[in-house]
Homo-oligomer: A and B are copies of this chain.
Amino acid sequence: MYRNDGFRELNRQESLQRLANAPVGRIVHTRDALPAVLPVNFILEESGAVLLRTSASSELVRAVDGAVVAFEADEVDAVTHSGWSVVVTGLASVVTDPGEHEQLVRTGPRSWVPWPVEVFVRIAPDLVSGRELVGGRTLYGLDPPT
């Protein structure tokens, strides 16, 4: 959250409401000591945690399990220059409890590639921040509406 660039800050509840309705977000992490970012689908749990489902053998899982990551979603209308951005920052961890895993197979995000072995990755909502583009002002350095 950067405070000197003309946005309206969203509170935690407002941020999570927007995130809950986003179809896709981006997991921001470190890979081979470099910043990395990957769009993924997800669901938002009631706690505000972000839940992903992916291949157990994926490089993404190896890169993020046990690491603090950021998860970002946004919606920006390039014509009207309105929109918002929300970031959840926290520890990412693979769900290892077999019972919980089985439950998430039914209730968690849908997996649409038939991965041979799937895992769920949860990102704890330790920090939640959000910002909104207020009409006529700029949030991202975008053009104000004309």
Which residues does A use to contact B, with CB under 8 Å? Answer: 2-6, 23-24, 26, 28-30, 34-41, 52-55, 57-60, 68-70, 72, 74, 76, 78, 83, 85, 87, 89, 109-113, 127, 137-144
Contacts and interface: CB of A to CB of B under 8 A. Distances in A.
Contact of A41 (B29, B58, B111, B140): B140
A41 B142 contact: yes
Given A2-B58, A54-B141, A36 B87 contact: yes
Contacts of A85: 38-39
A18 to B, nearest CB: 13
A24 B78 contact: yes
Contacts of A4: 55, 57-59
